[in-house]
Structures are given as C-alpha cells and as structure tokens.
Amino acid sequence: MTQKYGIIGFPLDHTFSPYIHNTAFNFLKINARYDKFEIPPISFEKDISRLKSENINGFNVTVPYKQKILPFLDEIEPIAKKVGAVNTIKKLSKNYWKGYNTDLYGFIQPLRGYLSEIKNVLIIGAGGAAKAACFSLLSEKKEIELTIVNRTIENADKLRTSLIDSFKNIITTHSLLQMEIIQMQYDLIVNTTNVGMGKLSLQIPLGVSGLVHKNSVVYDLIYNPEETLFLQSVSNKNIIRINGLQMLIGQAKKSFSIWTDKEYPYQILDENNFYKSEF
Ligand code: NAP
C-alpha cells in the first residue's frame, strides 16, 4: 500500500516540500506520496481529528499550526516540548502521533562553517521560527550574546523569558523603534519574520546596513522569493548572505529520516531547480 505523507498549513501555495520529498521517494523507490493538506483556520480542529483517523504515516506542520497542533499529539520529543513547537509528526501506531521539531536542525546547517566567529547575534522577530532559531543557536554555542528585536516588544520579552529558563546567555530585547538608535555591529543578523514574502514582499523588517561589519553573516529564513529586499539591502557590502532554502532542505532531510529511517539522498537535489520549477 502506498504510504501517505504531507504538509498541513495555511496557505500552502509556495511550499517546496512536496517536491523535496516526492523526488526522494521516487529516487529511493519508496512507495509513498507527499501531498499538500491545506487546512483553513476555521476548520482546523475538525480537519485534524479527521486526519488522525485516516491512514497518514506522517506529515509536516507549517505556519500557522506549529503550536496549535500540540494538544493533538500523544508524545513530543523533549527539545520540541521545550521549544513549544512541532513541525514533523510521525504516526507510531493507530491513533498515536509523535511530534518533533526538525527546524532546530535545519536552521543551524548553513551556519556551521561560520559559528566559530559568531558571538553577537541579532534576531529580528519573536514568533515560532525565532524561537527555534534562538534555541538552536544557544544550544550550539554557549558564548553567544543575543539581541531580539520585534514589532511587538511584549512578544520579544516573552521569548526572552522562555529562553532564560534554559540558557544563561546575555539576552536583550528591543522594539523596532528602539532599534533605530542602536549603533552596535553584529556577527550574525537573522530575519525570522514573514516581512519580505507574499503580501509583504516589498518591505524589509529592519534596515541593517549600519549594523554589519565586513565579516557579518546576514540570514533570512524566507526562501521564496530567493532574494528578499532584506538580503538585497546588504548586497553591496560583500558579506555572507544566506536565504532560507538550506534550512528548508535541512529540516526536510531530518523529517525524511524520522519517517523512513533512511538518509535523505541529498545528491539528487539541484537547488537551481527550486526557483525554475512550478510546484
Ligand atoms: P509567526 O510565529 O507568525 O511569527 C511572525 C513574526 O513576524 C513575529 O515576530 C511578528 O511580529 C513578525 N511580523 C509579522 N508581520 C510583521 C510586520 N508586518 N511587520 C513587522 N513584523 C511582523 O511565524 P513563524 O512561524 O515564526 O514564521 C516566520 C517566517 O519564518 C516565515 O516567513 C516562514 O516562512 C519562515 N520560516 C522558514 C523556514 C525555513 O525552513 N526556511 C522554517 C520556518 C519558518 P509580532 O510579534 O509583532 O506579531
């Protein structure tokens, strides 16, 4: 019987996940399919209960359900429980779902070569992706000093509180407005907001060209568009710029292994195809 996998979220127009997983299932000759299950917020609970009774082997969870899905899980891996968000679910037996957070793994992958030089970090945003980014960074490196800047300062403060429960690092928070007078330079700046994609594709979350030095890394978790205005805004600086594609592939690889107990066949992905293909 064909195994069933997929992704739940809303909206799901621009996801590359079906391409990433179906390409690997085909390559490894696994009898499985990965589909989009777009679930509107109004019918979330009803649709999730229906999904639970269906024969789904596993699925990814994306915006806006990474936290909302938690009450439907029967088990959560400890780190995902700490982060309070899940992006991967595996059905372990009939009606028994276990949740994982593979964003933590995906986030850090493109930074591996730079981590030794990174100490001062600016995180823009304080939602689910920001939390995963902070947990991932602070678990990886003790010496990091973190600044979180967010439109809603209360959400940045909430994120800080959840982090200081687990880490001893220096963590500061600012609103976007307060950030205008800060003259610090950061080794790593990460945009974790959705400013730069979809309806917000003509905006940037924060002007950062005065906040970088010649060895800074600027990382935008958005992968579609390939180059956001945020990344473009520092293109004249000759610094390292990373979009969200490596994170997306990293988290997908880890989800694939959780579901299939097999290594993702990384060599099959031609990243240039992502932006050429229609999904
Ligand atoms: P979320 O929990 O809804 O958080 C959204 C964040 O963006 C909040 O900090 C919010 O600020 C801020 N924000 C939203 N609209 C804004 C605006 N108009 N101006 C300023 N700030 C705004 O969403 P999420 O799950 O963290 O996802 C955020 C982004 O990360 C998305 O673009 C998603 O695609 C990306 N992501 C990428 C990957 C990957 O694999 N590459 C994985 C996960 C997420 P407030 O607190 O003020 O509302």
For ligand 1, atom 48, the nearest C-alpha belongs to 152
241-278 per-position pLDDT tens digit: 999 999 999 999 999 999 999 999 988 987 767 777 55
> Which ligand 1 atom minimizes the distance to the CA of 200?
18
**CA geometry: angle at 152 spanning 150 and 158, to 5°?**
85
pLDDT at 69: 97
Ligand 1 neighbours (beta carbon < 6 A):
63, 103, 106, 125-130, 150-152, 155, 192-195, 197, 200, 205, 221-223, 244, 247-248, 251
CA distances from 269 to 87, 103, 206, 253, 260 (A): 21, 19, 32, 11, 18
For 7-53, how does the pLDDT look when each residue is reduced to its tens digit (9 = 90+)? 999 999 878 999 999 999 999 999 999 999 999 999 999 999 999 99
Radius of gyration of the chain (CA): 19
Per-residue pLDDT of 57-75, as tens digits, reads 999 999 899 999 999 999 9
* Catalytic residue flag (residue 81): no
Give residues with Cβ within 8 angstroms of 62, minimum separation 6: 7, 8, 9, 12, 15, 87
Enter the pTM of the model.
0.94
Residue nearest to atom 37 of ligand 1 (CA): 221
- Give the CATH number of domain 3-102+247-265: 3.40.50.10860
- Measured in Å, residue 192 CA sits from the centre of ligand 1 at 5
Domain extents in the chain: 3-102+247-265, 105-244
Q: CATH topology of 3-102+247-265 equal to that of 105-244? A: yes
Q: Which residue has the least CA distance to atom 6 on ligand 1?
A: 193
Pocket test for ligand 1, best of 15, 19, 151, 200 (most atoms within 8 A of CB): 151
CATH superfamily of 105-244: NAD(P)-binding Rossmann-like Domain (3.40.50.720)
Kindly report the number of other CB atoms within 10 A of residue 119's CB atom: 13
User: How much is the pLDDT for 273?
Assistant: 74
Q: What is the mean pLDDT of the chain?
A: 94
Alpha helices of 87-169 — where are they, by DSSP H? Answer: 103-108, 128-140, 153-164
Alpha carbons 277 and 206: distance in angstroms, whole number: 31
139-168 pLDDT per residue, tens:
999 999 999 999 999 999 999 999 998 999
Q: Could you report the per-residue pLDDT of 172-203, keeping only the tens digit for each?
A: 999 999 998 898 999 999 999 999 998 999 99
- pLDDT, mean of residues 125-136: 95
